[in-house]
Amino acid sequence: MNWIFRGFLLSVGFFVLIGIVAFAVLFLLFSSIRWIFTGRKPEIFVVMNAYKQWKQRPIWPQKHNEYRNDDFIEAEVREINHSPDTLHTSKKKD
């Protein structure tokens, strides 16, 4: 009885494995055909290239000069005088 159960589980596992492999092959075939007609690479290539670029970047980013000339932004500063005709929400008039 024990060997029948093991054989059954082995056959179920084998069919699941065959199904996964068949799905992967069909997906690869579909992606390759789409690549030929549209020119878009399959997503797996895009993901793997992004992963390779991520692995090749340095672990600790290099420190840049914090005070470069192109980091400054020009701004115009004006003083605002409070006049009686402006609305003030903090002051209440009775």
Could you report the per-residue pLDDT of 50-68, keeping only the tens digit for each? Answer: 899 888 887 776 665 555 5
In a domain, 7, yes or no: yes
pLDDT at 71: 61
In this structure, what DSSP letter does residue 79 have? P
Number of domains comprising the chain: 1
Query: What spatial distance separates the first Cα and last Cα of the chain, rounded to whole Å?
Result: 96
Could you report the per-residue pLDDT of 22-54, keeping only the tens digit for each? Answer: 999 998 899 889 889 988 888 878 888 889 988
In a domain, 72, yes or no: no
In a domain, 43, yes or no: yes
Q: What distance in Å separates the CA atoms of residue 5 and residue 11, rounded to the nearest whole number?
A: 10
Domain that holds residue 11: 2-56
Coil, helix or strand at residue 41: coil
**Percent of the chain with pLDDT strictly greater than 70:** 74
- Are 42 and 34 in contact by the 8 Å Cβ rule? The answer is yes
In this structure, what DSSP letter does residue 67 have? S
* Polymer length in residues for the chain: 94
pLDDT at 63: 60
